[in-house]
Structure 1
């Protein structure tokens, strides 16, 4: 009898295991390259993984079709100094992610290059380690990637890596619904529901859903901080002194230095098709045993950095202000100053570009940024004190080991944004207007990096587009912002390129928010499947019940942190 009970117990465990796996993977007809599941998630970002995990936990089969090899997007691609905003509005799977990061750093063997007590506790707007909440908001890239891989493995989620959507004719629709998507390798993925969790919004665009690229004019949504912002200088990322843009100082006939546009920047408040700058979030180390000297990239051209020399000559001394500390004597290094890691004006065609052209753009950014670091570490025109300190840093030897210690993900700060029946604008993010049917919350500053570098009428150089407007309190993000117009597509959700204006997206575009919206999108997809309705006809009250059950935050906290 005891042996029978033991066998029954083992059988139950096996059934439970295979039930979990079966809910995540139901592939059909592998021999023909066709795969099928309740939900198909396209993308490898943090939102893609939270979407897939949520669907699996709700008992649905799910496949992740990822153009990326590494999972987690920017969260595992160098952005470890998390833009938290108000952490009280980060719930659900997003908070679970940061809890798992906390658990990782509770292990002594996670502190290889530094003692835990030596690290300090600096975070962005919040302590890095919150012992009471058992969360940690600052982390190394490999630690984040391991958490995403653990989540996928634990839930038996099948991930198809290095699979690129055929954007020309790979999306099949019938009666307003996507029936299948096909990748360039020839694989076909059929599903009842689809989620586009890419930074670019490629599935959304291929499905003929309306979207926008660039800045809307302020007049479109009655905004103040959208559109061209000539003369608005919110951060320290502008030229604070008069710097000549010409090859020969003060001589317009000598021509412009590299990376300065000769075009008129446009009229304040007008719209354009330009994008805020991209960069890589480098992970640097100042530990001699874990440091790789900045390499001289192929195609290195020191003339690209002449403008930076003039900035240093003018007395600028803020180089190390965004070498934000993460564990083990490393950094999440971001753009800072008038000439820095942002490759201003060199990404405008990225969202609509072919895959080949995108790779050219990414490579150009890599060459520029590697060249920038090499230039500052080696060129004799850099102030000696700055150069001496910089040479103490290098690429972290134990990060991105299969990519020359360089991040595998470029920071696509903004690409396409869906246009749906409901659009999030600065009015919602600044809490000037109520938000219907909230499915998550944001709280970060309305933030845009520089968009263009131009010559002012007085003959000096200036940057434009850098905006930082604080959100007075956490704000809700409406369900309507992550679903297309019903007449365009009835079984697609878009959590990473939501329906929002440029400046509203400047706050929404944070990794914790992407995870939040990814989970909510999957929850809605499951309920649409269960009720046999379109995503536009999901019963919001039922959706809200499930979101709250899963610890999503839908209302502002009573107090601010």
Structure 2
């Protein structure tokens, strides 16, 4: 890791004891935010506009001429960068893109397409409202098994959720409030899991509470039913602003209801109940939002289809990348896509966790549209990658790497008068290396 990503990690280490942060990995949200805001403040020419939602794009002659926001403001530029998780600018500009999962045959990827149904915690857990009675209907958060053939393409996305930050420090707590219309029957599946598997006694198996500095936990999804609201995000990318807000609100309600259930249902192990009851949201985090994260964790949105599509083969270093802009290294990490009833039990589909043998180079062409589509746009987040490859690329340290490359490429394109596709890669590589970027893994 180098460049701005390394600068960020080093800045985190300066705030904490290096042993505690494990190289800058574990940190409080407000610390990360303050470091990033300081980086922006160090460049006075950068002006940040918050809550600016894209309305429309004006383009001609393979170039974006301007964009209009929903508040009526307009922006004109020589180069545009879509660094959003959703890829809205890229889509509204008419760039060819995809969503969901490619078939295994499309790029010859072993991990692509619909995966096998896995039964772990769902073993011996009846999926029906009345056990043994399919006619009684399925439990909440369990779907019928309508999956396609193994390896087939589909439009499904891995689950979203909120990465909440909680603390047991009473002096720094905002209470977790039971949502209106809370109904414990919504999480009957989780109660049955706890009853069927008394050997599952650790809080971490129900909800991944990773310790971070100052008596806090970074909470993520783990287990058969956790903070990811599986299939709750299926329409998020296609939704308009109001539709997305509704989906975000539903994910927040789900999170609060889940925490309430874990803290109160008698089938949940007593130590787990006690842990969750001891938590509250942190007063010193997300202070303008009641301690709750401002953004839903959009793990995957649209993906551009450029001249070069990153695939599983690139992650395995089976290809030659002549135009590297940095290295990816995160494991192939796909969260659950479907939770289904199967043979009287409950299974999940779509989850993959596969560490990689070594870092892999990321092609500059993966952040540029095709030349015949748009010549002044760079897309470092919703970049050109298969679903499998994106499952490794989709983390913030990698986005820092691709984002830095996009910024450097934009400046080169402006100064040289070239399209983003026709800049001199040698100049880009030299600039990235001069700023500490690592471009090869040898």
Which TM-score tier does this pair reach, normalised by the shorter chain?
over 0.9
**Equivalent residue for 2:274, pick from 350, 374, 388:** 388
Contact 1:319 1:337 in 2 (8 A): no
Partner in structure 2 of residue 344 of structure 1: 230
2:154 is matched with: 272
Contact residue 334 and residue 351 of structure 2 kept, 8 A: yes
Please list every run of 5 or more consecutive structure 1 residues that lacks an aligned counterpart in the other structure: 1-89, 106-115, 123-127, 131-135
The answer for the alignment partner of 1:196 in structure 2 is 82
What is the correspondence of 1:362-377 to structure 2 with a 5 Å cutoff? 362-377=248-263
- With over 3 angstroms needed to count, the CA separation of the structure-2 counterparts of 1:449 and 1:95, relative to structure 1, is same
| Partner of residue 5 from structure 2, selected from 59, 74, 94 | 94
1:240 CA displacement: 5.2
What is the match of residue 346 of structure 2? 461
Partner of residue 315, structure 2: 429
> 1:295: Cα distance to partner?
1.0
Q: Which runs of 5+ in 2 are unaligned?
A: none
**8 Å CA contact 1:319, 1:336 repeated in 2:** no
Deviations 1:78-102 (A, max 9, x none): xxxxxxxxxxxx1101111112222
**1:156-200 deviation per Cα after TM superposition (whole angstroms, max 9, x unaligned):** 12111111100xxx2111210001111011111000000000000
Query: Is residue 309 from structure 1 mapped to residue 203 from structure 2 by the alignment?
Result: no
Aligned to 1:160: 49
SS in 1 for 2:67: strand
Contact 2:158-2:337 within 8 A present in 1 as well: yes
Contact preservation (8 Å) 2:12, 2:27: yes
Contact 2:174/2:290 (<8 A) preserved: no
Instruction: Return 431-440 or 446-455, whichever deviates more.
Output: 431-440
Alpha-carbon separation, structure 2, partners of 1:427 and 1:520: 22
The alpha carbon displacement at 1:152 in A equals: 1.6
Please tell me whether the aligned partners of residues 123 and 345 of structure 2 are also in contact (alpha carbons under 8 angstroms).
no
CA shift, 1:381, in A, is 3.6
1:391-419 deviations in whole A, cap 9, x for unaligned? 22221222112212111111100010000
**The one of 401, 406, 415 aligned to 2:287:** 401
Which residue number corresponds to residue 30 of structure 2? 142
Match of 1:546 in 2: 431
Residue correspondences, number:
437
Contact 1:318–1:337 (Cα < 8 Å) also in 2: no
Contact between 2:117 and 2:349, CA under 8 Å: does it hold in 1?
yes
For the residue of structure 2 that corresponds to 1:463, the secondary structure is strand
Q: Deviations over 1:394-448 (max 9, x none)?
A: 2122211221211111110001000011000000011122223111110111110
1:174 and 2:56 matched: no
Matches of residues 135-534 of structure 1 in structure 2 within 5 Å? 136-156=24-44, 157-166=46-55, 170-231=56-117, 238-239=120-121, 241-314=123-196, 315=198, 316-321=200-205, 322-456=208-342, 458-534=343-419
Q: How much does 1:380 deviate?
A: 3.2
C-alpha deviation, 1:544, in angstroms: 0.8
Query: Aligned partners of 2:289, 2:412: CA distance in 1, in Å?
Result: 40
Secondary structure at the counterpart of residue 197 of structure 1: coil
Q: Cα offset for 1:129?
A: 4.1
Structure 1: distance between partners of 2:121 and 2:318: 33
4+ residue runs of structure 1 moved beyond 6 angstroms? Answer: none
Alpha-carbon separation, structure 1, partners of 2:269 and 2:332: 35
For normalisation by structure 2, the TM-score amounts to: 0.96
> What CA deviation, in whole Å up to 9, does each residue of 1:265-285 have, x standing for no partner?
221100100000001111010
Which of structures 1 and 2 has the bigger CA Rg? Answer: 1
Q: Distance in 1 between matches of 2:118 and 2:274?
A: 34
Does the 8 Å contact 1:230/1:267 carry over to 2? no
RMSD, aligned CA? 1.5
Q: CA deviation at 1:263?
A: 4.2
Counterpart contact for 2:201–2:269, Cα < 8 Å: no
**2: CA distance between counterparts of 1:529 and 1:509?**
28
Q: In structure 2, what is the Cα distance between the partners aligned to 1:232 and 1:209?
A: 36
For the Cα contact (< 8 Å) 2:327–2:362, is it kept in 1? yes
- The alignment's TM-score, normalised by the length of structure 1, stands at 0.76
Q: Structure 1 residues 410-419 or 393-402, which shifts more?
A: 393-402
Number of the residue aligned with 1:41: none
How far off its partner does 1:317 sit? 2.6
Q: What SS is found at the alignment partner of 1:158? A: coil
